Amino acid sequence: MAIWDNPANNAGRFGASKVKTLSADSYKCPNCASNLVYDVEHGASICRNCGGLFDPETLEKVGSFGILNPEKNYDGTIEISKEDADRVEIVCNACGAEIVTDKNTSSTFCAFCGSPALVTRRLTREFKPDYIIPFQFDKEKAIKIFEEHCESVGHLPKNFKSAKVLSKMTGLYVPTWIISSEVEVKVAGQAKTGKMVDEAYQENHSSTSQSFSRLTYGKVNFRLKDVPFDGELKIANNLMAAAEPFDYSALERFRPEFLQGYFAEKYDEQPLDMTDRIYKRLDKYALQVCDAVDFGYDDFVPSSDMSVVTYNNQDIKYALLPCWFLSLDYDGVNYQYIVNGQTGKVSGEFPYAKGWETIERTGRKARMEAVSWNSGLRVLLYATPAIILGILRFISGFSRDSAVMRFIFEHPFEPLLLLLALGGVAYVCAEILPKVLHNREKHDIEMLSKASSHDLAPEPGAENYYDTSFPVTAIETTKDFVSLEEGWNYADKQSFDFKTAIPEAETQGPDENATDFEKQGFGRQMLR
C-alpha cells in the first residue's frame, strides 16, 4: 500500500468548500495522463501511477513520492517551478558534489572535500522534497557540541582540531527515504532448553531429557516504522546511519523558508535503485526481532539461511533531514563527521594519539583470550560429575581386603560426609559456576561488540524502529511453514500438538498493484 492510500486529516489546508471531488473523467495527471485522486492528508491531488502531487486548484506540481516516477532521470525537459527558479545549484569541480540552496546563500568551499573549486549555476532540475525536519540549532552550537564530544574521546591528538577547521562545518539537508513496512518472517532456527543454551555444553555434551536442542519453525509478524535511507552518494551510508535516530514527530511538509541559510543535497537514488541496501537492513532488523522470540523454549537462535521474509503494506516518505557536516584532513587522512541537526548526536571516526591505538588493541585482544579461556573452563566444569563418578568407580574397584576399603567399612560416617561434599562440589561445578561464567562471557562479548569512542558507532538496532503499536505475534508451525488451527502463540502461550493440529496451506502472492520496489520485498531469502 502506498503512502497516499493512508487515511489522515486535511491539516486545515483547505476548507470543505474548497475541496473538490475529482472524477476519473475530469482531471488527469499532467505527467502521465492517469486519473488524479484528492488526498486530505496532503491537501493535494495524487497520481497513483507516477506518485506526483498537484495543487487541486491549478494542477501545479507540489511534490512527488518518487516511486515509479517518469521524471526520475531529469532529462532537462521538466519545467522548473517558480520556487525552484529562486534556487541555485553549487557544483564542486574537485569531487563532483552538487548541493542546492537559495540564491542568497553562498559557499567558498565544498562541504564534502574542502575544495574551493566551486561553480554556481542555475538549478538544472526540479528540487521537490515532500517533508523536512528543520534544524534545531545554529552553527555556533553545532561547533560547541562537536568540541564537547571531542573532549569525551580519550587519547585524541592535541592538534587534531582548530577553530579554522571547525569554521568549515556546513548545515546540510540530506535527502532521505523513510520506509515503514509490515514484516512476516517464516523463520527457522535452533530452539534450546536447559544447558543446551550454553554453546560450550552444546558442542561437547549430549542431549538429555532436560537439556536438548531441536530445529524449530515458526512465523513472526511485526512492523518496522520510519527506517531512514539516505538517497545521495557523497556521504557514506554508515556515517549517516551512525547519526541516527531522528525524531519524526518534528517532520513537517516542506516549505521554502526552511532552506534559507542552509544547503541541501538532491537525491541520487530512489528506493528502487537501492533495493538491496534497503532490504538487507530491514532483514537485519527482522532477524533481531526473531532472535527476541523464544517460542516457549529457554532460547531460540534464528537462522537467516533457512528463513524467508516478506514485506507488506509499505509506506515511503521522501524527506530532508538536518545534519551539520564537517570534512577535515589530519596526518594525510580525510575524516568526515556529522552532527545530527536535530538531536546533536555526533558520528565519525577519530584518530588516536601516537601509541594509544596499539594499547587499546592489546586490551581487546586480552579480553578475547579471556572469552576463549572461559569457554574451555566451562567444558571442564560440565564434566565434573563424570570425573567424580570415575573417581568413585576407581575406589570401588579396590578389593575388600585393601586398606582403603577397610577404612570405609570401619569408619562409614567419614566416607558419607566425603560423598556429600563431593556431591556439593559436583553441583556447584556443573550447575552454578558454568552459568556464572556464561554470563561473564556474554558480558565480555557485549563489551567487545561495543564501538570504541574512536570508532564509528554502529547503525541503531531494531528497538529504535520497531512499531510498538503493532504487537509482535509469533506462532510455531510445521516444517512447511503452514498455519495450524492449534498453535503456540507468543502472546497467549498456548501449547500445541502437531499430531492433532490440522495444517492449512497458504496461497499468498504479491499484490497485483504492488510497485516494483514492493515486489522485491516479497518472499525474499533473508540477507540475500
The CA–CA distances, whole Å, from 491 to 157, 294, 472, 476, 487 equal 53, 12, 8, 12, 11
Instruction: Give the confidence band of 162 by pLDDT, cuts at 50, 70, 90.
Output: confident
Q: What is the rounded CA–CA span in Å between residue 519 and residue 44?
A: 27
Cell numbers representing residue 65 in the block: 513520492
Cell 577397610, residue located: 406
* Averaged pLDDT, 194-220: 87
Instruction: Give the confidence band of 195 by pLDDT, cuts at 50, 70, 90.
Output: confident
Lowest mean pLDDT among 13-27, 96-110, 305-319: 13-27
Share of the chain above pLDDT 70, in %: 71
Cell 525536519, residue located: 133
Cell numbers representing residue 522 in the block: 516479497
Which residues are within 8 A (CB) of 130 and not within 5 positions of it... i.e. 6 or more apart? 53, 63, 64, 65, 253, 254, 317, 318, 319
Is 219's pLDDT higher than 50? yes
Looking at every residue in the chain, the average pLDDT score rounds to 77
Cell 502461550, residue located: 493
User: Tens of pLDDT along 376-423?
Assistant: 888 888 888 888 888 777 767 666 666 666 666 666 777 778 778 888
Which among 455, 442, 487 has a CA at the least distance from the CA of 154?
455
Which among 54, 3, 6, 58 has a CA at the least distance from the CA of 29?
54
Rg (CA), the chain: 31
Instruction: Give the confidence band of 225 by pLDDT, cuts at 50, 70, 90.
Output: very high
State the amino acid at position 67 in one-letter form: I
- Element (H or E) spanning 426, and its range? helix 413-427
* Averaged pLDDT, 63-82: 44
Is 287's pLDDT higher than 50? yes
Contact indicator for 180, 223 with CB cutoff of 8 Å = yes
Is 180's pLDDT higher than 90? yes
For residue 245, whether the previous peptide bond is cis, meaning omega lies within 30 degrees of 0, is yes
pLDDT for the residue 27: 65
